[in-house]
């Protein structure tokens, strides 16, 4: 299988990296491994703080794997695929450790969901965002609660409806998706290093209590995101979605 999810712990800082050669897209195997690593880190006494990042130098995350979307044959397979996103978001939500997001490039679809589900996102100025799901006949249903929680319903609605256009990283910071922006990757990494080292020396009990407070009101998300996954899993079977994804793939190959 292409891609990887790897983790590395040093001085209480657990860096979890995902990578896929197609713009860090998220097929099922990457989603499963990501949810597993986050769950493990949350229960690991050696882990004090988590950094979520992706490999490469271009996109932070290109969202759902179009290759896998094209191969979904029925609603059960659709539910299973989109439940992968639900599992990752819920793993991040339930994790008692603070998760810092290293957003080194553009975020599309599910990538915006990941950026929204971390507890503190630090990004570069080129980290523009787009919720493109509506353009292929789906809609950002599974990641929607995480994005709406972070930026508010009005901003989420605008992002979801205007699905073909990018919003700048500065827009994302104004809407509180990103906590800070930096001109260079080096400056971003320095800010991440400073914050993660500070948190690694902080009280684990206090950080766990703070995280619980920050995620108040999301206790029903296990069921909510499962239902949202079923909606996406049904819509992906439609002719509109199949044709839209095929056109996108042809455009990429030309």
Q: Percent of the chain scored above 70 by pLDDT? A: 98
Residues 6+ positions from 244 with CB-CB distance below 8 Å: 135, 136, 137
CB 44 within 8 A of CB 50: no
What is the Cα 180 distance to its own chain's centre?
A: 17
What tens digit of pLDDT does each residue of 64-117 get? 998 899 899 999 999 999 999 999 999 999 999 999 999 999 999 999 999 999
Residue 99 φ/ψ, nearest 5 degrees: -110, 120
What's the CA gap between 65 and 253, in Å, rounded? Answer: 15
What's the CA gap between 169 and 181, in Å, rounded? Answer: 8
CATH of the structural domain 4-184, one choice from 1.20.810.10, 3.40.1390.10, 1.10.260.40, 3.90.226.10? 3.90.226.10
What is the Cα 39 distance to its own chain's centre?
A: 15
What's the CA gap between 139 and 122, in Å, rounded? Answer: 26
What tens digit of pLDDT does each residue of 112-166 get? 999 999 999 999 999 999 999 999 999 999 999 999 999 999 999 999 999 999 9
Residue by residue, what is the 3-state secondary structure of 45-81?
CCCCEEEEEECCCCCCECCECHHHHHCCCCHHHHHHH
**Residue ranges per structural domain of the chain:** 4-184
What is the Cα 71 distance to its own chain's centre?
A: 22
The pTM (predicted TM-score) of the whole model is 0.95
The stretch 226-232 carries a mean pLDDT of 97
Residue by residue, what is the 3-state secondary structure of 108-134?
ECHHHHHHHHCCEEEEECCCCEECCHH
- 98's enclosing H/E stretch is strand 98-103
């Amino acid at each position: 299988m292409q891609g990887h999810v790897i983790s590395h712990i040093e001085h209480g800082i657990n860096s979890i990296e995902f990578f896929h050669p197609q713009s860090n897209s998220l097929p099922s195997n990457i989603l499963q491994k990501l949810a597993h690593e986050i769950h493990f880190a949350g229960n690991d006494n050696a882990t004090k703080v988590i950094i979520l990042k992706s490999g490469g130098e271009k996109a932070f995350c290109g969202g759902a794997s179009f290759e896998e979307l094209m191969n979904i044959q029925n609603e059960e397979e659709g539910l299973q695929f989109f439940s992968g996103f639900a599992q990752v978001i819920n793993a991040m939500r339930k994790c008692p450790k603070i998760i810092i997001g290293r957003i080194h490039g553009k975020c599309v679809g599910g990538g915006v969901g990941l950026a929204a589900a971390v507890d503190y996102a630090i990004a570069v100025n080129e980290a523009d965002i787009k919720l493109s799901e509506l353009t292929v006949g789906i809609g950002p249903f599974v990641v929607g609660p995480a994005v709406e929680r972070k930026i508010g319903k009005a901003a989420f609605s605008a992002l979801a409806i205007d699905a073909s256009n990018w919003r700048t990283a500065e827009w994302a910071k104004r809407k509180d998706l990103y906590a800070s922006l930096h001109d260079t990757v080096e400056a971003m990494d320095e800010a991440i290093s400073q914050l993660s080292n500070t948190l690694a020396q902080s009280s684990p009990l206090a950080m766990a209590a703070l995280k619980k407070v920050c995620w108040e009101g999301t206790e029903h998300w296990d069921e909510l995101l499962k239902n949202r996954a079923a909606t996406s899993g049904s819509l992906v079977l439609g002719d509109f979605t199949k044709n839209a994804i095929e056109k996108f793939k042809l455009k990429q190959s030309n």
